[in-house]
């Protein structure tokens, strides 16, 4: 949520602008840049994405920028960052939970606020605390903040200087061939060979001239060793596709093919998996759906009890953590605030925690006992697609390893076939384009399935609602008649997923029940006889992938459906309204 950038070096404005554009996946409600030159700030702000921010006349070698996902205050110019007060200009990613109390103090001093944000209070407090030592002022102010923050701060008394602070929101310093940088994430710093220095929680940095100095929570100097930026991974292009989302769906077969990140190579993880007597999975959104799909694999294949929780709920329901629990915290970004908090709590209560992440250098990875990479490659579109397939496969591989270890059955051959099956599904999945017209003005859409197909249905529904803005729900097919059936009327689109031969008859009963009430039913199935059922509004026949690992495959037509409906409704599938790729606030 929100992307911040700071830059020290020649011609700062266009560089900050370009870097901000690469962080728009973190939010695009408004954008702004402040430059410091000759002791004065020049600030430009606008509502909406970064494009169009007027920077042509901005000269200077030191500045900060921000792309916002609004939390406190509507997406207006006043609420856009940077927030300037007195000698300070501040950009902030995170939430200051105690800002009301702090603001009261400032108001009592007679200070006037120009925005409704929680962030502006930081600039006021800095102005009040500053006694000539920038780092000391930043430390004094951050010591009073409750919540999460990554901050980049300019002070008009300190030329060629950017001060930084981090607590629970990511911030990385980069030293390039020219200039010193800071940013919320690596893509903004993706220059081949750039040296990267991630800040840890409670750490500070002061960039001055071409020097970067790092400090711990107590203000003691810190030595940091850089890692080198992998520009090829960190600067993805659309590669001929109109949108990142479509490209990322197309990458699923190659992502699945790259899978062999053997669990044994994850530094003792395999041993921890085998020693566990209980699996917990905690995650949000799409990652949660991947966890649900894997629950079936853990319990069915490996006979291992597995409990899946929404991370944002887990942290507040006083969870019981059974002995020998292995908690799998699943997150594409590794920066989701709720998942991080749930993983911390599970660890405190005695679980061994493994971070199942796409971003290996993330906060979640750093706190976990083990890191299991899902290896999807950088995902840019807000809607998760290839990372879901990679998460499902990674978790299912764990279940398959356990099953083998327990002498139950080997699933190696089935797993090996998945990339080819995904390739085939990509091509048959294009058939959903013919369905789009039925969805364009639907009042609501339902996705149904049973067993593992229910997990896939939930993900299909989430994809559709987040990028098409159509109200959509996922249900177990068995649950319809307990209430939801009342909502089915003539032409209501119902998408049924059916990969389990054993449950085919049951799922088809639900299909007949909704068809009888006028619904237009679209079937995504591996069962030819079901695909040929008269009266269906559409069907995609998937290759035979069995029902054990099927969500990694059956999700593909559902992702394509969401993509084409979104396009047909005139939306930008890569940047759905109100959402951001990394949800770094609670």
Name the site residues for ligand M6R (rule: CB under 6 A).
284-287, 331-333, 336, 339, 382-384, 462, 466, 582-583
How far is it, in rounded angstroms, from Cα 501 to Cα 218?
A: 62
Q: Strand pairing of 370-373 and 445-449? A: unpaired
Q: Is 119 or 286 the residue whose CB approaches ligand M6R more closely?
A: 286
How far is it, in rounded angstroms, from Cα 558 to Cα 448?
A: 12
DSSP symbols for 392-408:
HHHHHHHHHHHHHHTTS
Spatial contact of 114 and 78, defined as CB atoms under 8 Å apart: yes
Distance of closest approach, residue 383 Cβ to ligand M6R, in angstroms: 4
Distance of closest approach, residue 331 Cβ to ligand M6R, in angstroms: 3
Listed in sequence order, the residues at least 6 apart from 427 whose beta carbon sits closer than 8 Å to its beta carbon are: none
Distance of closest approach, residue 134 Cβ to ligand M6R, in angstroms: 33
Q: Which residue is nearest to ligand M6R (CB)?
A: 285
Q: Is 248 or 453 the residue whose CB approaches ligand M6R more closely?
A: 248
Counting Cα atoms < 13 Å in the Cβ hemisphere of 464 gives 29
- In 228-308, where does DSSP find H-type helix? 231-234, 244-250, 252-257, 269-275, 285-296, 302
Q: Is 123 or 337 the residue whose CB approaches ligand M6R more closely?
A: 337
Q: Is 53 or 346 the residue whose CB approaches ligand M6R more closely?
A: 346
Taking residue 265's Cβ as centre, other Cβ atoms within 10 Å add up to 11
How far is it, in rounded angstroms, from Cα 29 to Cα 50?
A: 9
Distance of closest approach, residue 463 Cβ to ligand M6R, in angstroms: 6
Which residues does the annotation mark as catalytic? 2, 581
Listed in sequence order, the residues at least 6 apart from 486 whose beta carbon sits closer than 8 Å to its beta carbon are: none
- In 235-383, where does DSSP find H-type helix? 244-250, 252-257, 269-275, 285-296, 302, 311-314, 337-348, 363-367
Q: Is 82 or 285 the residue whose CB approaches ligand M6R more closely?
A: 285
Listed in sequence order, the residues at least 6 apart from 305 whose beta carbon sits closer than 8 Å to its beta carbon are: 277, 278, 279, 298, 299
Tell me the sheet residues that pair with 309: 282
Distance of closest approach, residue 286 Cβ to ligand M6R, in angstroms: 3
Among residues 334, 339, 286, 289, the alpha carbon closest in space to that of 312 is found at: 339
Spatial contact of 451 and 503, defined as CB atoms under 8 Å apart: yes
Torsion from C-alpha of 150, 155, 161, 166, nearest 10 degrees: -10
Q: Is 12 or 290 the residue whose CB approaches ligand M6R more closely?
A: 290
Q: Is 12 or 558 the residue whose CB approaches ligand M6R more closely?
A: 558
Residue 536 token pair: 């269906």
Distance of closest approach, residue 356 Cβ to ligand M6R, in angstroms: 10
DSSP symbols for 516-573:
HTT-EEEEEES-HHHHT-TT-SEEEE----TTTSTHHHHHHHHHHHHHHHHHHTT--T
Q: Is 20 or 376 the residue whose CB approaches ligand M6R more closely?
A: 376
Distance of closest approach, residue 17 Cβ to ligand M6R, in angstroms: 26
Distance of closest approach, residue 53 Cβ to ligand M6R, in angstroms: 26
């Amino acid at each position: 949520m929100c992307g911040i950038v700071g830059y020290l070096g020649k011609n700062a404005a266009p560089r900050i602008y370009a870097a901000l554009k690469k962080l728009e996946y973190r939010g695009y409600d408004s954008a702004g840049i402040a430059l410091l030159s000759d002791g004065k700030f020049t600030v430009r702000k606008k509502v909406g994405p970064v494009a169009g921010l007027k920077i042509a006349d901005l000269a200077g070698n030191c500045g900060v920028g921000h792309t916002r996902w609004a939390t406190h205050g509507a997406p207006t110019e006043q609420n856009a960052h940077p927030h300037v007060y007195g000698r300070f200009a501040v950009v902030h990613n995170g939430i200051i939970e105690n800002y009301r109390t702090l603001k009261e103090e400032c108001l009592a001093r007679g200070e006037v606020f120009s925005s409704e944000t929680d962030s502006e209070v930081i600039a006021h407090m800095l102005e009040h605390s500053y006694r000539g030592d920038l780092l000391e002022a930043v430390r004094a102010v951050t010591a009073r903040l409750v919540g999460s923050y990554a901050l980049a701060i300019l002070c008009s008394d300190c030329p060629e200087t950017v001060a930084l602070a981090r607590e629970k929101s990511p911030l990385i310093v980069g030293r390039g061939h020219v200039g010193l940088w800071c940013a919320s994430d690596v893509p903004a710093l993706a220059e081949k060979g750039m040296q990267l220095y991630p800040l840890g929680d409670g750490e500070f940095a002061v960039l001055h001239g071409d020097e970067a100095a790092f400090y711990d929570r107590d203000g003691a100097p810190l030595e940091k060793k850089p890692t080198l930026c992998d520009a090829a991974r960190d600067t993805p292009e659309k590669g001929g596709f109109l949108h990142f989302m479509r490209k990322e769906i197309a990458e699923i077969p190659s992502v699945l093919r790259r899978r062999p990140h053997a669990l044994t190579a994850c530094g003792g993880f395999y041993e921890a998996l085998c020693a566990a007597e209980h699996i917990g999975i905690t995650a949000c959104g799409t990652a949660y759906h991947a966890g649900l799909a894997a629950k079936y694999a853990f319990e069915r294949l490996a006979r291992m009890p597995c409990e899946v929780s929404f991370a944002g709920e887990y942290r507040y329901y006083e969870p019981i953590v059974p002995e020998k629990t292995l908690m799998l915290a699943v997150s594409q970004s590794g920066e989701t605030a709720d998942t991080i908090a749930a993983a911390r709590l599970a660890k405190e209560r005695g679980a061994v925690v493994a971070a199942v992440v796409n971003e290996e250098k993330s906060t979640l990875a750093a706190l976990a006992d083990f890191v299991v990479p899902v290896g999807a490659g950088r995902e840019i579109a807000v809607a998760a697609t290839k990372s879901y397939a990679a998460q499902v496969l990674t978790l299912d591989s764990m279940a398959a390893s356990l099953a083998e270890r327990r002498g139950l059955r080997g699933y190696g051959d089935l797993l090996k076939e998945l990339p080819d099956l995904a390739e085939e599904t990509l091509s048959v999945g294009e058939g959903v384009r013919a369905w789009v017209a039925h969805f364009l003005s639907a009042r609501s859409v339902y996705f149904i399935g049973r067993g593992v197909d229910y997990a896939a249905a939930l993900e299909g529904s989430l994809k559709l609602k987040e990028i098409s803005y159509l109200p959509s729900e996922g249900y177990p097919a068995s649950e319809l008649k307990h209430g939801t059936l009342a909502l089915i009327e003539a032409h209501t689109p119902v998408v049924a997923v059916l990969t389990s031969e054993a449950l085919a008859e049951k799922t088809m009963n639900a299909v007949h029940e909704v068809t009888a009430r006028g619904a237009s039913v679209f079937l995504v199935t591996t069962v030819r006889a079901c695909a040929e059922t008269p009266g269906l509004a559409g069907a995609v026949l998937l290759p035979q992938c069995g029902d054990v690992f099927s969500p990694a495959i059956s999700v593909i037509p559902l992702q394509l459906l969401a993509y084409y409906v979104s396009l047909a409704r005139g939306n930008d599938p890569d940047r759905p309204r109100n959402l951001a790729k990394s949800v770094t606030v609670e």
